[in-house]
Amino acid sequence: MFRFKAMGFFSLLMFVSLICVMGGVSPSWGQVTLRAGHNQIPDYPHGRIILHFADKVAEISKGSLKVQVFHQETLGNERVLFEGMRLGTVDMAKVTTSIAANAIPEFGLFDLPYLIRDLDQLLQVLNGPTGNQLLTKLEGVGVKGLFWMEQGTRSIYTAKRPVRSIADLKGMKIRVIESPIMVDTINALGAAATPMPFGELYTALRQGVVDGAENAPDAVYTAKHHEVAKYYTMTDHFRTPCLFMISMQTWGRLSEAHRQNLVDASKETAEWGKSLYSQEAAEYMKKLRAAGMEIIEVDKEPFRKAVEPMYQKYGPKLGAELIRSIRGR
């Protein structure tokens, strides 16, 4: 009789443990652990912001809620992370709006080249009606946005041949994010856009699989791409934000108290990290120069004119009136 009771208790224990793991509860019996992924190193601004968020969650929840952070695509690249959150197999992640646009086309608004004038305008858009509308749409596909992060401006950098004018881009294979607008933009500049996960880019640059890429200076430096790319051309063509998110399935399993802990930590983190990129951009540019990378200033007007067709092509899909209100024309 005791044997059967023992077996029954053991089975119940295993069942409860399984439910706890699925719901994010750690074996410490009471602490909920959520796994968060992103594609950068811990010292990268996004890595620092997410680690700050994890610390705030632990502090606000008094240790009852933990965010375990996985760096450098340990849980998958951004496309995998986003789809994982929709399916409920990933708890939390940082994803650029370009990836979210594959599920919600309106997120592609931020991929339009030369759309946003400066950081102040970007924050106004993200924290205003446009940003709130996008967050509502996001929940409809199974993911909840917690806080926005900026990514500075993206420019083109190349391994062997410098880009001193738009003509120099002709035929170059340039790595881009998996975004139709970004692909079309780089193609419109005369290059051959090549979508590729960020984690594969260092090797691709070194082996000549691609001729260059486009990103912010901090991303170039922290990923050590200056070791395999000699030239950074300040085209400043994209100012695309990213978003830290949580799976709606994970959100649904949390208590009201823990949901509020995440909301409070998100607000504090958004304020703490809102200008981190701007504060560090100049320093990273100095580091690139010191590492031997040539920084090239170009006349941006030919670049702007070359990508103007992107507004005619994508404007109706993304909201022509909204685009006009942002651009002021």
| Digit-coded pLDDT (tens) for 227-249 | 999 999 999 999 989 999 999 99
Residue 1 lies in a domain: no
Give the pLDDT band (50/70/90) at residue 29.
low
What pLDDT, on a 0 to 100 scale, did the predictor assign at position 204?
98
If asked whether residues 222 and 315 sit together in one domain, one would say yes
Strands in 88-241 per DSSP E? 92-96, 143-149, 154-158, 173-176, 192-195, 212-215, 231-238
If asked whether residues 131 and 212 sit together in one domain, one would say no
Res 89 pLDDT > 50: yes
What pLDDT, on a 0 to 100 scale, did the predictor assign at position 14?
44
Res 192 pLDDT > 70: yes
253-275 per-residue burial string, b: 16 or more CB within 10 A, e: under 16: bbeeebeebbeebbebbbeebbe
Residue 79 burial (10 A CB sphere; 0-12, 13-18, 19+): middle
Q: How far apart are CA 42 and CA 48, in angstroms?
A: 6
If asked whether residues 173 and 322 sit together in one domain, one would say yes
Residue 111 lies in a domain: no
Give the pLDDT band (50/70/90) at residue 275.
confident
Q: How far apart are CA 204 and CA 133, in angstroms?
A: 38
If asked whether residues 272 and 126 sit together in one domain, one would say yes
Instruction: Spell out the residues 6+ positions from residue 116 whose beta carbon is closer than 8 angstroms to its own.
Output: 110, 122, 125, 239, 326
- Phi/psi zone of residue 145: left (φ > 0), alpha (ψ -120 to 50 degrees), beta? beta
Of residues 74 and 111, which shows the higher confidence score? 74
Res 137 pLDDT > 80: yes
Residue 29 lies in a domain: yes
Number of structural domains the chain divides into: 2
If asked whether residues 214 and 285 sit together in one domain, one would say yes
Residue 175 in contact with residue 204, Cβ under 8 Å? Answer: yes
If asked whether residues 174 and 260 sit together in one domain, one would say no
- Percentage of residues in the chain with pLDDT exceeding 70? 91
If asked whether residues 189 and 255 sit together in one domain, one would say no
| Digit-coded pLDDT (tens) for 194-207 | 999 998 999 999 99
Partner residues linked to 148 by β-bridges = 243
Of residues 255 and 20, which shows the higher confidence score? 255
Tell me the pLDDT of the chain averaged across its residues.
90
Residue 113 lies in a domain: no
Q: What is the DSSP letter of 211?
A: S
If asked whether residues 214 and 247 sit together in one domain, one would say no
If asked whether residues 185 and 245 sit together in one domain, one would say no
What pLDDT, on a 0 to 100 scale, did the predictor assign at position 276?
87
CA dihedral 155, 158, 164, 168 (to 10 degrees): -110
If asked whether residues 285 and 215 sit together in one domain, one would say yes
Q: How far apart are CA 45 and CA 280, in angstroms?
A: 9
| Digit-coded pLDDT (tens) for 51-60 | 999 999 999 9
Give the pLDDT band (50/70/90) at residue 10.
very low
Q: Point out the least confidently predicted range of 109-113, 183-187, 223-227.
A: 109-113
pTM of this structure: 0.78
Q: What is the residue range of 260's domain?
A: 10-96+118-150+241-278
Residue 246 burial (10 A CB sphere; 0-12, 13-18, 19+): buried
What pLDDT, on a 0 to 100 scale, did the predictor assign at position 26?
44
Task: Residue 214: give its domain's CATH number.
Answer: 3.40.190.170
If asked whether residues 27 and 132 sit together in one domain, one would say yes
What pLDDT, on a 0 to 100 scale, did the predictor assign at position 326?
86
Q: What is the mean pLDDT of residues 44-53?
A: 94
Give the pLDDT band (50/70/90) at residue 282.
confident
User: CA separation (Å) from 325 to 238, 240, 305, 315, 328?
Assistant: 18, 18, 20, 12, 5
| Digit-coded pLDDT (tens) for 312-325 | 999 998 988 878 88
Residue 50 lies in a domain: yes
If asked whether residues 261 and 314 sit together in one domain, one would say no
Residue 173 in contact with residue 194, Cβ under 8 Å? Answer: yes
Res 11 pLDDT > 70: no
Residue with tokens 């952070």: 69
